[in-house]
Structure 1
């Protein structure tokens, strides 16, 4: 027998005992968690009426918990101050209740004697636990019904129903015979999409974004995909798709759509600081339904290098207008532009660009985009002097994201690859810039409280000489995005005379061990390394440098606040300690 006694203030009920006739610790824990009386003992404000109501409800709750574990002959007794709770009249609640005792005899566990469900959809099979000799858990029976219904719905039979449910318990043999019958109904096709709510987004745009497949065979997965398409526009706070109760002529199924518009405007800001790069301030303003077609306009501004040692202050202002389903369902159109002024230690660059393109969502994890853009750059440095560039670029990128959380991933992986063919319109140079960023995450430990994270960055620019490329087409290493502990952009190509240029090839490696100390506090150990080469595709030896350090994380629930402290451990590009503060993991 098992007994638990909890001492609580005199104004609260006391659990005198919670006895279960078993040695199964998991069963005891499950039953105690299911008990409302146990919960009432933790509430000092519980009144006698509330305690009696909890005890009365516990009979059914505890029996259901026993059924879920396969025990169908259990006996439950609940006494309040020595009286069986079920015998206390509802309208004669005692003035006070001081103690509750719970006694449970689960009896033997039942096994499945007969386990039948028919008919099943072609190729469908019942769950492995639904077969004679297996424990007769009620949860398995429900899982079997749900699986059978899902099988027929996935085959287009939207109105499948449970037509037979014959469950017989043999208490002499401790077996449960289960015979289940399904009525698949007709194979149906999608009918009409019927809006049942108003929206500021135009009706034809809603239909185009949702991509309702009128006339095709019914599919529950297609319904979920339509809901996702509408949600990811950001224009709606609620999306609900409901199947009509009755089929129309020709076995067609109408679907009702109810939408609640999101607030159209949103504003946000962020900040990040490091000891060498200084303070970075950023902000954005967004309109979710600019032209009545769920278009999303986002304008962003950033100031970086404030109080840093990397030159002057950098400024960037950018905007992007995205039109969902502009080229068809799952294919958006967008236009974008930006102006920037970078005042770095070894160069100064002003840039303006404008572009347009399309993005395609292939699945929940894979998307790609392509664009054409015009870019004007004016760059000045001590080695080459003042130069101007006028480019026509064709950036293409693809992103594969299987992380469990964007700001604080613990499992999964992420890969983004970018390729940008370019041609100078004010000269004859043409070439290609390539960059890829891969990340992987693995959690270990009983509570997955230790995470190993790794990152590889690789990039190269081919087809033009260093002198004919602007600084942002080249690669540097050092700082928060590449090698922590090394000064920002401290590794590049030495042009002599104290002048540093970016390289045409780059490799970055990062590794972290993230350990959760409490629900909110975590510690991180990390090491980073970077390599920069003057030539395309790593044709020369280049130079390496590395950094390592420790970090502290404070989990806010929407992402951790990050503090990293690092120092150089390889190379000759810096010394001393650097620190970095931001929101979200470093990668």
Structure 2
């Protein structure tokens, strides 16, 4: 029996003929379509093939130069240059012409965004790329056109406006109709809208839609903002975490939490500011938590991290006058009894004097803005002006009011043993010392804007020893102004006027008379040497004094600065400056090295109308600005 072989199915080739014919016709049609496109738009096949070949095999990058052309305001051109990818990546040439053109296209897109953000909604951008030269030349010519203005600003609430006073138009969110419709105020207005709603019990408000429609014919923009205010919420419970040595009852008194009131996001900022002012905490975190189901009260969690309670400070100084080398050592405890009580002990010394002092401060005395302050100081001095051994004390109330005002007032006590020109006097004085301060400076150690004004008045009377009575008054005013927004140039000025009434110069204790001259007064003149001098050219002090200081502070780098200054001043025997003696003027240069704890200061000053007793220059080194 013979087995049969299985037969294979055969696909007749004749059936492929129609398929092959259709494929050939398609290829021929594509070729014809390509020819038609080339006739209409020009040939790109060869260029495209070259680009593909370059992309695949290029080994030589294409260096280029960029020009931004057109009649552009300097500020607008700076924004365009800052946004340009061509400029940012110029040092990394593209690997092909196609890559270069992609960079150009990306810049066109960026530039359109920048132009619209600056209210140029009808701008035109033309580009040219010349690769026939080396490096390749890329030019972007911009015709910005007119700036568009804000015509209308409508706020629409969905499903409806919240009860009470809700923002409805431009003026409610800090905008003015007619301003240039730039991005910055429009974006800020959106933030303001949500902030206003959060301040009025709607912390969950959200923007649904923002529409800005430009009318090119009228050159205006109409804005429509759709917002969901969300449900009205209340202030919920406050949870405090992280306390160790600071008592929770003290924190609760400070924050004055009002559970159940309409929610106001500003309360969280107020609490953060109040707690930061205590200097007890290194970290202050205030977070809203999710309310319970069906609850309209928002719980808040306050997480605190306490600072180290104790700190030690060291300082040094040098002056070419009789003060010479000086130093300071301090120790501070910022939370003695758990309620923010602070105690600072300090010892200072120079070539002519040494002192130790203690300062105690208890905050929140009967009122959150009120504190008890007490100072005691023991001083010994042997200078050309006088010899002194004294102890002085002050205890009073410190009260802050409004935003920038503070007054301190209380009894003062002075016990002093003094010697001047061979005359020895012992004084036991009691008085009432009061100081009023207005301070808007942005930084206490290195201010760049704001002012500080102070008026101190202190009447004294003897209760034992040498008899005297007088009233000492000192007024100072210092101002600081940035000349550029960055703070690189700061103009600073200071003036001081002092007066002592009710006693002759000889009956006012020598250590409480008015003096001028030195590193913290009128630079260029030796310590306390302005004004009346005795036969040995030792300072006698006076009953009135004037000081004037002007500085131009220049920030050269992040850590280095230069100061040019002019100082002037004089001391008079009369109660009120008579200006019968010309002010003594000095000028100088200074260097500043900025640190985290304040600038290190080096000043050299030269008298401009010096006397025979004055040196050619004075040299000072210390910590902190001169004023």
TM-score by length of 2: 0.72
Matches within 5 A, 1:137-536: 137-154=182-199, 156-159=200-203, 161-162=205-206, 164-167=208-211, 177-184=222-229, 190-214=235-259, 218-246=263-291, 252-277=297-322, 278-305=324-351, 313-385=352-424, 387-426=425-464, 429-444=468-483, 451-494=490-533, 500-514=539-553, 520-533=560-573, 535-536=574-575
Paired residue for 2:614, among 555, 563, 574? Answer: 574
Give the direction of change, closer, same or farther, for the CA distance of 1:503–1:152 in structure 2 (3 Å limit). same
Give the direction of change, closer, same or farther, for the CA distance of 1:169–1:365 in structure 2 (3 Å limit). same
Give the direction of change, closer, same or farther, for the CA distance of 1:172–1:550 in structure 2 (3 Å limit). closer
Which residue of structure 2 aligns with residue 68 of structure 1? 117
Tell me the distance in 1 between the aligned counterparts of 2:140 and 2:150. 27
**391-400 or 506-515, which deviates more:** 506-515
Give the direction of change, closer, same or farther, for the CA distance of 1:536–1:561 in structure 2 (3 Å limit). closer
Tell me the distance in 2 between the aligned counterparts of 1:436 and 1:401. 14
Which residue of structure 2 aligns with residue 6 of structure 1? none
- Could you say what secondary structure the match of 1:225 adopts? helix
Q: Is the 8 A contact 1:209 1:330 kept in 2?
A: no
Q: Is the 8 A contact 1:430 1:464 kept in 2?
A: yes
Give the direction of change, closer, same or farther, for the CA distance of 1:195–1:574 in structure 2 (3 Å limit). same
Larger Rg: 2
Give the direction of change, closer, same or farther, for the CA distance of 1:249–1:438 in structure 2 (3 Å limit). farther
For structure 1, the residue ranges without an aligned partner over 5 or more in a row are: 1-10, 45-53, 83-98, 306-312
- Could you say what secondary structure the match of 2:464 adopts? coil
Give the direction of change, closer, same or farther, for the CA distance of 1:286–1:467 in structure 2 (3 Å limit). same
Give the direction of change, closer, same or farther, for the CA distance of 1:14–1:171 in structure 2 (3 Å limit). farther
The Cα offsets for residues 18-70 of structure 1, whole Å up to 9 and x where unpaired, read as 677865464454244346786566799xxxxxxxxx99999997776565345
RMSD: 4.6
Tell me the distance in 1 between the aligned counterparts of 2:621 and 2:366. 41
- Could you say what secondary structure the match of 2:269 adopts? helix
Tell me the distance in 1 between the aligned counterparts of 2:169 and 2:435. 39
For structure 2, the residue ranges without an aligned partner over 5 or more in a row are: 1-58, 94-102
1:395 offset after TM fit, Å?
1.6
Give the direction of change, closer, same or farther, for the CA distance of 1:439–1:100 in structure 2 (3 Å limit). same
The Cα offsets for residues 264-315 of structure 1, whole Å up to 9 and x where unpaired, read as 232222222221131221222222223222322222221113xxxxxxx310
Give the direction of change, closer, same or farther, for the CA distance of 1:575–1:216 in structure 2 (3 Å limit). same
Give the direction of change, closer, same or farther, for the CA distance of 1:499–1:62 in structure 2 (3 Å limit). closer
Tell me the distance in 1 between the aligned counterparts of 2:317 and 2:572. 26
Matches within 5 A, 1:49-64: none
- Could you say what secondary structure the match of 2:408 adopts? strand
Which residue of structure 2 aligns with residue 308 of structure 1? none
Q: Is the 8 A contact 1:461 1:473 kept in 2?
A: no
Which residue of structure 1 aligns with residue 604 of structure 2? 564
Q: Is the 8 A contact 1:236 1:259 kept in 2?
A: yes
What is the number of residues matched between the two proteins?
544
Give the direction of change, closer, same or farther, for the CA distance of 1:486–1:135 in structure 2 (3 Å limit). closer
Matches within 5 A, 1:39-54: 39=88
- Could you say what secondary structure the match of 2:516 adopts? coil
Give the direction of change, closer, same or farther, for the CA distance of 1:338–1:177 in structure 2 (3 Å limit). same
Give the direction of change, closer, same or farther, for the CA distance of 1:444–1:186 in structure 2 (3 Å limit). same
TM-score by length of 1: 0.76
Tell me the distance in 2 between the aligned counterparts of 1:17 and 1:161. 49
The Cα offsets for residues 448-470 of structure 1, whole Å up to 9 and x where unpaired, read as 76544332211122334445433
Which residue of structure 2 aligns with residue 94 of structure 1? none
1:474 offset after TM fit, Å?
0.9
Name the structure with the higher helix share. Answer: 2
Q: Is the 8 A contact 1:562 1:584 kept in 2?
A: no
Q: Is the 8 A contact 2:170 2:176 kept in 1?
A: no
- Could you say what secondary structure the match of 2:609 adopts? strand
- Could you say what secondary structure the match of 2:79 adopts? helix
The Cα offsets for residues 107-127 of structure 1, whole Å up to 9 and x where unpaired, read as 988776753124644898156
Matches within 5 A, 1:16-27: 16=64, 24=72, 26-27=75-76
